[in-house]
Amino acid sequence: MGRGRKKTNPKLLEAGGSYKSNPSRQPVEEIAVRAGTPAATPLVLSNDIALGIWNNVIDLLVEMEIVNQTDVFLIEAFVLNYANYLHLQGTLMKEGFTVAGKDGDIKKHPNTSTLKAAQDLHIRYMSELGLTPSARARMASPTGNKADDPVAKLLEGLKG
Q: What is the distance between the alpha carbons of residues 119 and 58, in angstroms, rounded to a whole number?
A: 20
Within 10 angstroms of residue 82's Cβ, the number of other Cβ atoms is 22
Q: What are phi and psi of 21, to 5 degrees?
A: -80, -25
SS3 101: coil
For residues 23 and 40, which has the higher predicted lDDT (pLDDT)? 40
Q: Which of 14-23, 107-116, 123-132 has the lowest mean pLDDT?
A: 14-23
Q: What is the distance between the alpha carbons of residues 31 and 100, in angstroms, rounded to a whole number?
A: 54
CB 70 within 8 A of CB 160: yes
Residue 91's pLDDT band, with cuts at 50, 70 and 90, is very high
Q: Which of 58-72, 91-105, 127-141 has the lowest mean pLDDT?
A: 127-141
Q: Pairing between strand 106-108 and 98-100?
A: antiparallel
Q: Helices (H), strands (E): how many in the chain?
A: 7, 2
- The model carries a pTM of 0.71
Asked if the model's pLDDT at residue 148 lies above 90, the reply is: no
